[in-house]
């Protein structure tokens, strides 16, 4: 049943005022980037695109209510809020890159997060105070109930991971739109690649864990709530193999071509697995996630079409993270 569209969109005066502030902030950011940064506007929309991908995939976990009918792009995803997040990200990237231009990319990355995380937490606290943000019952059940600075303590883990994925997506695709030379390695560092992939998949799995339950796996395989080594390990190995095999045998492909090939290989492996997992009862989506589904399924399967679209979105962020880190370590 498609229920995710049924929520309160009526804004209060303070919410409208805050939205106007966000629009002014985003408009100024976009104008400044357009005037002062090479392909700054394109990079702004890259950041917004990465944010939308994450928001689309994780939207059943949280709510954005009372922002007015004009604000919503898809279900309760607000384009005004997305642009505000993108502005925070772009100011952080721009300022850190300018003031630490002599630092290598891998050294700047934790600085991005150190600047972004407090700003993001303040922003989230404001949204909670205004009554805009909220969390699904599954998330509320998963969190401890302890708060810090007006937000759940788990937010202090979620926000850096979320930002790390979106920043990596933005920086990775910036290589493409800015035509930066990326020198591929003929001899792949497979072990290092596996370690980066493991970190990327595991962290993302932890942040989206309330959306779906993994049922019926061996007891020894559960490492955090219902995250199982069997399934998470399979995604890690599949992603790792996709990246390394494409990079080895299609070294002449462009950055965009390789990325599409990574996604194609991963999608070809994950979709049949997801079909089987759902049919066998090993994969059970939570009520909030199910309520966001349209009710349409892949023909002759129990797989919602949203899951089919969600697979490439999920892995687009993971692949961007892995490849960004490989590139900055390979091209020091």
Mean pLDDT value of segment 247-263: 90
Structural domain ending residue among the three candidates 134, 153, 177: 177
Q: 208 and 128 in one domain? A: no
> For residue 3, is pLDDT > 50?
no
Confidence check: pLDDT of 20 > 60: yes
36 & 160 share domain: yes
> 128 and 43, same structural domain?
yes
Q: Same structural domain for residues 198 and 114?
A: no
Examine residue 278 and state whether it is found in any structural domain, yes or no.
Answer: yes
In this model, does residue 332 exceed pLDDT 70? no
Look up tokens 């030379």; give the residue: 181
Residue 229 lies in a domain: yes
| Section 204-223 average pLDDT | 87
- Confidence tier at 1 by pLDDT (50, 70, 90): very low
89-119 pLDDT, tens digit per residue, is: 999 999 999 999 899 999 999 999 999 988 8
Q: Within this chain, do residues 26 and 110 fall inside the same structural domain, yes or no?
A: yes
Q: Domain check: are 146 and 208 in the same one?
A: no
Q: Which domain holds residue 203?
A: 190-330
**Same domain for 24 and 158?**
yes
Total-model pTM:
0.90
Looking at the fold, whether 253 and 166 belong to one and the same domain comes out as: no
Q: What integer best gives the mean pLDDT of the chain?
A: 88
Do 136 and 222 share a domain, yes or no? no
- Count of domains observed in the chain: 2
Q: What is the 3-state secondary structure (H, E, C) of the chain?
A: CCCCCCCCCCCCHHHHHHHHHHHHHHHHHHHHHHHHCCCHHHHHHHHHHHHHHHHHHHHHHEEECCCCHHHEEECCEEHHHHHHHHHHHHHHHHHHHHHCCCCCHHHHHHHHHHHHHHHHHHHHHHHHHHCCEEECHHHHHHCCCCEECCEECCHHHHHHHHHHHHHHHHHHHHHHHCCCCCCCCCCCCHHHHHHHHHHHHHHHHHHHHHHEEECCCCHHHEEECCEEHHHHHHHHHHHHHHHHHHHHHCCCCCHHHHHHHHHHHHHHHHHHHHHHHHHCCCEEECHHHHHHCCCCECCCCCCEHHHHHHHHHHHHHHHHHHHHHHHHHHCC
* 5 domain-assigned: no
Task: Flag whether pLDDT at 154 surpasses 80.
Answer: no
184 found inside a domain: no
pLDDT of residue 287: 85
Residue 7 lies in a domain: no
In this predicted structure, the answer to whether residue 5 has a pLDDT above a threshold of 70 is no
Pair 59, 114 in one domain? yes
**Same-domain status, 207 and 300:** yes
Q: Which residue has the higher pLDDT, 190 or 282?
A: 282
What pLDDT shows up at residue 178?
A: 86
Confidence of residue 6 (pLDDT cuts 50, 70, 90): low
């Amino acid at each position: 049943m498609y229920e995710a569209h049924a929520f309160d969109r009526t804004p209060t005066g303070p919410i409208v005022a805050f939205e106007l502030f966000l629009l002014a902030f985003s408009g100024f950011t976009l104008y400044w980037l357009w005037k002062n940064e090479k392909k700054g506007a394109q990079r702004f929309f890259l950041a917004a695109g990465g944010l939308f991908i994450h928001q689309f995939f994780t939207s059943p976990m949280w709510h954005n209510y009372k922002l007015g009918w004009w604000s919503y792009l898809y279900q309760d995803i607000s384009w005004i809020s997305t642009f505000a997040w993108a502005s925070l990200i772009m100011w952080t990237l721009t300022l850190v890159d300018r003031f630490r231009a002599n630092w290598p990319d891998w050294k700047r990355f934790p600085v991005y997060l150190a600047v972004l995380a407090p700003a993001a937490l303040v922003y989230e606290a404001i949204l909670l105070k205004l009554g805009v943000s909220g969390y699904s019952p599954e998330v509320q059940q998963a969190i401890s109930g302890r708060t810090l600075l007006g937000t759940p303590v788990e937010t202090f883990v979620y926000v850096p991971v979320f930002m790390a994925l979106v920043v990596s997506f933005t920086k990775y695709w910036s290589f493409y739109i800015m035509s930066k030379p990326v020198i591929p390695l003929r001899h792949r560092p497979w072990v290092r690649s596996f370690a980066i992939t493991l970190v990327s998949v595991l962290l993302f799995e932890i942040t989206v864990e309330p959306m779906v339950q993994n049922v019926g796996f061996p007891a020894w395989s559960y490492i955090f709530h219902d995250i199982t080594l069997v399934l998470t390990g399979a995604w890690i190995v599949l992603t790792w193999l996709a990246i390394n095999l494409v990079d080895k045998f299609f070294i002449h492909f462009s950055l965009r071509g390789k990325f599409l090939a990574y996604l194609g290989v991963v999608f070809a492996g994950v979709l049949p697995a997801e079909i089987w997992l759902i049919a066998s009862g090993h994969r059970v989506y939570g009520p909030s996630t199910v309520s966001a589904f349209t009710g349409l399924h892949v023909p002759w399967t129990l797989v919602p079409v949203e899951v089919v679209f969600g697979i490439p979105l999920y892995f687009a962020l993971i692949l961007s993270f892995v490849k960004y880190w490989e590139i900055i370590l390979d091209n020091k």
